[in-house]
A and B are shown apart, each in its own frame.
Chain A
Amino acid sequence: MALTAWFQHFFKKNGIVLSIYLMSAVLLWMVIMIILPQVFMLDFSFRFNLPPGKIGGEEDVYTISNYRFLLFGSPGNPDPYNVIDTTVFFRTILAAIFVTVFDLLLCYPIAYALAIVAKGGTARLMVLSLIVPFWINEILRAFAFRILFGSSGVINTVGMTLGLWDTPFDFIKADIALYAGLGYAYILLMIFPIYNAMESLDRNQLEAARDLGAQWWRIHWRIVIPFSKPGIASGCTMVFMLSAGALAAPQILGGPSSLWFTQIIYQWFNTGGNWPRGSAYAIVLLAVCILFVLFMMRVFKVRIGEIGR
């Protein structure tokens, strides 16, 4: 009942033409582009990998074999569980957490400088120079790190000339290049939410704390950080989700022995030719990431509503 009343009101307010535009655009987006594809992917992940001719036939039934494969591997697997895939999965999650913490530590001072310390022209120049590097293609950014960290790269040359180490250090094999590149890729997503939250901080609070003799770290710990917590939470959420789901940087900067979970998904779709299994893996990645974020929000007592600010 309420719904029809709402529709009547909606059509009356916007007129026929505008209503149709609004409705169809939003429905197209929500239903055809967001919800249905996700539902189809979920459905597909519970199916066998069949040739096109057999899809919809008798053999096209639901199964959990794809999820079972992620946990236990193929039936002939001697190990109690699928060692390779599960290891890669947990390493990806751990690495994403590491990248998130790294980015938080890296970006917090900058966000603070931008929101509290810098003024007018300086702040605007800083914002512009923060944004500019991110207009450059993701692949090219990763490529830049590869040049930087390669065994004949600049860091090795400089380090060896200064005598810090004498054989070229393989940064790519040690995953240092990967972490540096991933951290770099999501700097903006960390800085701006924190900056937005921090900017509305009342400077008088800082003055008062200073007058009362608080040390600088205490001011941060008791005032600035609690106040900007929603920003920190949404920054961390975005960086974590996106670095766990990153594909370009691990493909280009990852060492020969370290796979990212998205690369396994990509393999199932590309060379592996098993789409249902790839979708099952993608669903697991998505679900675990979301659950982890919700769990961390519970731990740090941040509500979801605060994040959208």
Chain B
Amino acid sequence: MKSAQFLRVVLGAYIVLFFAYLFGPLILMSITAFNSSEFPRVTPWDCFSTDWFNVLVEDKRIMTGLRNSIIIGFGVVCLSVPIGLAAAMMLTQVGRRMKSFFYTVVVSPILVPGVVLGISTLIFWDRLGTMFDASYNSVFYNGIFLSILGQSTFVSAYCMLVFTARLQRFDPVQEEAALDLGATNAQAFVKILLPFLKPAIGSAAVMAFLASFENYNTTIFTIVSESTLTTVLASKVRFGINPSISALAVIIVVLTLICAIIHEAMKRQEARRAQAAKDERVVADYASVGRFATSPWGIVLLVFLAGLGTIWLATRYDTASCKMRLQDERQLRLEQSTPSTPAVTPGAATPGTTTPSTTTPTTTPSGSEPAAKPYQGIFAPQNLDQVAPKDEGEAAPAGEGKSDGESKPYQGIFAPQNLDNVAPKSD
């Protein structure tokens, strides 16, 4: 008995750890959106700031990408939901032999790597275009059109699976009854089958849109010269990152959470209603405030109010003065550390003396950190601490940093955190 309890505790602890792995990165990323530091990070914390949201909204490339993503998303929904529905219905009507072949072919796009789907779509339309001698402005080379087709290839399979699951619970007697009573096939389809499938159509459409919206592997090939939100994000993340991407993540996380809460609340309400109908008695009208708070719209309202509250707090918080203070502190430390730490002097003190105004020393170096990745470790504060007490030979890299302070790999040397950490040592 004891061991069973012990196992439960272990499993519980594992689940907690697992969800920490699942949510931890997302939470940390969201936090970095509110740090004024140029590089997305949680520690050291500079100032609370909502500036990155402004940077995000003013970014033209992201906004164009977003627009294209939404267009493609709608295109994919319009194409893959009808295809998925038709395929699911077809699956119920073909013979056994045919069925397994058909199923293998249409499910394969889920397993085939997205890269391959993108490439094959691109090549197919490119070759068709060459065959028809089409111009480069024609539909054969249109990134949005190709992306809709390429993504629909596998999104349709998702939709089909959703419809197949729902169709398994369909009672064909209903349709037969309608046909016996003189309805045409089309009428029976529209009046009986479609209403039955309505929830599945809804969830298939949502899923199709989300799958299209977040797709990268297929889109990167089919998009040709256009861009979607995902491809813009990818190129931004690859070539230098700043917290405006975190700000976008915050928006998406919040939207996702709202959708999830609404979904859950609606399910609960449905279940409650079903229960009430079953019991055939009026559910006690418990405190109406509590009821509103757990209804979907109540929750949306609460979330909305919380958002407004955050924005209000943000406007009251003076980021600019905090930044100023931070800068002053840094300069103070810089001045203190200049005369007394010999190991730091060659590299770190130079910018302080040459640019006494220190207009942007807090920002520029850390902004270029990603480029400097491979060598960044060299000038981390701990290294300096270790190097300082030793002989001059060990400290040689610092001297090198001075000679070509312009070159990228050594830019980390000017990172303000180095100074922060070194300063106390000097006392």
Note whether A and B form a binding pair: yes
CB distance from A241 to the nearest CB of B (A): 5
The answer to whether A285 touches B234 (Cβ under 8 A) is no
A256 to B238, CA, bound (A): 12
CB distance from A238 to the nearest CB of B (A): 7
Given contacts A25-B82, A144-B28, A256-B374, contact A139 B185 (CB under 8 A): no
The answer to whether A128 touches B82 (Cβ under 8 A) is no
The answer to whether A146 touches B106 (Cβ under 8 A) is no
The answer to whether B120 touches A40 (Cβ under 8 A) is yes
A131 to B210, CA, bound (A): 12
Residues of chain A from 13 to 39 with CB closer than 8 A to chain B in the complex:
13-15, 17-18, 21-22, 25-26, 28-30, 33-38
Among B23, B32, B86, B90, the residue within 8 A (CB) of A133 is B23
**Which residues of A are in contact with B by a Cβ distance under 8 Å?**
6, 10, 13-15, 17-18, 21-22, 25-26, 28-30, 33-38, 40-41, 44, 52, 55-56, 106, 109-110, 113, 117, 124, 126, 128-133, 135-148, 150-154, 157, 160, 166-168, 170, 172-173, 184, 187, 216, 237-238, 241-242, 244-248, 251-252, 256, 262, 265-266, 269, 275, 278-279, 282, 285-286, 289, 305, 308
Total A-B contacts with CB atoms under 8 angstroms apart:
270
Given contacts A30-B106, A137-B252, A269-B119, contact A21 B86 (CB under 8 A): yes
Determine the main DSSP class of B at the interface with A: helix
Kindly supply a per-residue 1/0 record for chain B positions 188-199, scoring 1 wherever the CB is within 8 Å of any chain A CB and 0 otherwise. 010000000000
CB distance from B283 to the nearest CB of A (A): 18
Among A128, A173, A245, the residue within 8 A (CB) of B114 is A245
Among B213, B234, B373, the residue within 8 A (CB) of A172 is B373
Among B89, B107, B156, B256, the residue within 8 A (CB) of A135 is B256
The answer to whether B153 touches A139 (Cβ under 8 A) is no
The answer to whether A29 touches B120 (Cβ under 8 A) is no
Nearest B residue to A21 via CB reads B86
Q: What are the nearest 4 A-B pairs in CB distance?
A: A245-B113, A15-B185, A25-B86, A37-B120
Given contacts A10-B93, A26-B90, A184-B25, contact A168 B376 (CB under 8 A): yes
Identify which of B14-22, B50-58, B317-325 touches chain A: B14-22
Between-chain CB contacts (< 8 Å), 27 pairs: A15-B186, A25-B85, A33-B121, A33-B152, A35-B105, A37-B120, A41-B119, A41-B123, A41-B124, A131-B260, A132-B257, A135-B210, A136-B252, A140-B248, A141-B26, A143-B237, A146-B241, A148-B25, A150-B41, A152-B376, A238-B111, A245-B114, A245-B115, A247-B216, A262-B217, A265-B115, A269-B119
* Cβ contacts under 8 Å, A269 to chain B: 119, 122, 221
The answer to whether B217 touches A247 (Cβ under 8 A) is yes
Nearest A residue to B93 via CB reads A10
**B95 contacts the other chain (Cβ, under 8 Å)?**
yes
**Which residues of B are in contact with A by a Cβ distance under 8 Å?**
3-4, 7-8, 11, 14-15, 18-19, 21-26, 28-29, 32, 39-43, 82-83, 85-87, 89-90, 93, 95, 100, 102-103, 105-117, 119-124, 126-127, 130, 149, 152-153, 156, 184-186, 189, 210, 213-217, 220-221, 229-230, 233-234, 237-238, 241, 245-246, 248-249, 252-253, 256-257, 259-260, 263-264, 267, 369, 373-374, 376-377, 380, 382-383, 386, 417
A242 to B127, CA, bound (A): 27
Q: Which of A22, A117, A147, A245 has most chain B Cβ within 10 Å?
A: A147
A246 to B215, CA, bound (A): 11
The answer to whether A247 touches B220 (Cβ under 8 A) is yes
The answer to whether B377 touches A167 (Cβ under 8 A) is yes
The answer to whether A14 touches B120 (Cβ under 8 A) is no
* Cβ contacts under 8 Å, A184 to chain B: 21-22, 25
CB distance from B37 to the nearest CB of A (A): 10
Known: A14-B185, A170-B373. 14 other contacts (CB 8 A): A15-B184, A25-B85, A26-B83, A137-B252, A140-B252, A143-B29, A147-B25, A147-B41, A147-B42, A157-B43, A168-B382, A216-B7, A242-B114, A247-B217
Given contacts A33-B152, A34-B108, A279-B119, contact A138 B214 (CB under 8 A): yes
CB distance from B341 to the nearest CB of A (A): 19
* Cβ contacts under 8 Å, A55 to chain B: 130
* Cβ contacts under 8 Å, A238 to chain B: 110-111
* Cβ contacts under 8 Å, B41 to chain A: 147, 150, 152-154
Nearest A residue to B153 via CB reads A33
Among B215, B220, B369, the residue within 8 A (CB) of A152 is B369
The answer to whether B113 touches A262 (Cβ under 8 A) is yes
* Cβ contacts under 8 Å, B117 to chain A: 37
* Cβ contacts under 8 Å, A282 to chain B: 115-116, 119
The answer to whether B83 touches A308 (Cβ under 8 A) is no
The answer to whether B105 touches A146 (Cβ under 8 A) is no
The answer to whether B130 touches A132 (Cβ under 8 A) is no
CB distance from A18 to the nearest CB of B (A): 5
